[in-house]
Amino acid sequence: MLLIQAIILGIVQGIGEFLPISSSAHLILVPYLLNFNLELNNSAQLAFDVSLHFGTLIAVLLVFYRDWLNLVNGAYQNIIHKKNTFEGKMFLYLVYATIPGALIGKLLENYIEVYFRNMILAIAILLAIMGALICLGDKWSEKHYKKPKNFNELNFKETFIIGLSQALAIFPGFSRSGTTMLTARILGINRQAAAKFSFLLSAPIIFGATMLKFNDLINNFSLNIFIGIFTSAIVGFISIKFLLNYIKKHDFSIFAYYRFLIAAIVIIKFIIN
């Protein structure tokens, strides 16, 4: 892998993991569109993939470090001192919400790797379909709920359903952040709360996936691995900050239009080829 390719893929991961555009789809489609010749063995490819996710984990922990400190402290107060705080409940909500997505993802992981990752046309179509759903769901929620919920009003049922929905992100094109934000909006949660919970929810599942394959990362550590971690962390940090600020005044339409554009470009190239 060339250094420039590692940088590009790090940027793609940092943007795609947190904006509702599907990082997994872009990590397949960008090399396809740019004709990357990634001659990596399975172990090296796995290590580079882990490095990209590790970088985005760093990003979400940096942006929300105060929240995570409060959540951990809340869980401690809840368990040790039996103090029923919102932070303590939210910590447990995040744990429970992570479980279904992690289990379903683990069960389907090999199937997706073997059969779905090379289905370029299907990924492009799924990218466009999910774009339409995000746009329509967001607009429907805006009309249907006159007073959407804030972050501190979330309950167990809502967070568990959101966590369950992220299992769909195993299919490239759905997007973990896009699916969870859409689900939150349909449940009547405002955009800022939907985005914040989605970002917090990303940390446990990315951490788990990274730790499971951390040995591959260490055994294959290289300059490209370092670049992947560094680039995805920096770009991921910027992406989170951007989205949290952007949705204060805008809806999710721009991300749907972007999905349509990329899907159209991929489909055209696929037909030409």
pLDDT in tens, 167-198: 999 999 999 999 999 999 999 999 999 999 99
Higher-scoring residue by pLDDT: 153, 2: 153
Predicted local distance difference test score (pLDDT) of residue 42: 67
Asked if residue 2 has pLDDT above 90, the reply is no
Q: Is the dihedral of CA 141, 135, 64, 213 positive or negative?
A: positive
Predicted local distance difference test score (pLDDT) of residue 250: 96
pLDDT bucket at 134, cuts 50 / 70 / 90 = very high
Predicted local distance difference test score (pLDDT) of residue 39: 63
Tokens linked to 200: 């917090």
Predicted local distance difference test score (pLDDT) of residue 66: 97
pLDDT in tens, 18-27: 999 999 999 9
Q: How far apart are CA 132 and CA 49, in angstroms?
A: 28
Q: What is the pTM of this model?
A: 0.94
Q: How far apart are CA 138 and CA 251, in angstroms?
A: 7
Asked if residue 213 has pLDDT above 90, the reply is no
**CA dihedral of residues 137, 184, 234, 36 (deg, nearest 10):** -50
| Whole-Å CA distances, 56 to 129, 178, 250, 265 | 25, 16, 24, 27
What is the residue-wise DSSP string for 109-121? HHHIIIIITT-HH
Asked if residue 118 has pLDDT above 90, the reply is no
pLDDT bucket at 259, cuts 50 / 70 / 90 = very high
Predicted local distance difference test score (pLDDT) of residue 40: 62
Predicted local distance difference test score (pLDDT) of residue 41: 63
Higher-scoring residue by pLDDT: 100, 264: 264
Predicted local distance difference test score (pLDDT) of residue 105: 81
pLDDT bucket at 142, cuts 50 / 70 / 90 = very high
pLDDT bucket at 233, cuts 50 / 70 / 90 = very high
Strands (E), 99-182: none
Tokens linked to 118: 């090379």
Asked if residue 74 has pLDDT above 90, the reply is yes
Higher-scoring residue by pLDDT: 235, 218: 235
The answer to whether residues 115 and 180 touch, using CB atoms and an 8 Å cutoff, is: no
Give the range among 54-63, 94-103, 205-214, 228-237 with minimum mean pLDDT.
Answer: 205-214
Domain ranges in the chain are 3-272
| Whole-Å CA distances, 59 to 177, 225, 235 | 15, 16, 8
Work out the number of other CB atoms within 10 angstroms of the CB of residue 144: 11
Asked if residue 212 has pLDDT above 70, the reply is yes
pLDDT bucket at 101, cuts 50 / 70 / 90 = confident
Q: How far apart are CA 56 and CA 58, in angstroms?
A: 5
**How confident is the prediction for the chain on average, in pLDDT?**
93
Q: Is the dihedral of CA 232, 238, 240, 242 positive or negative?
A: negative
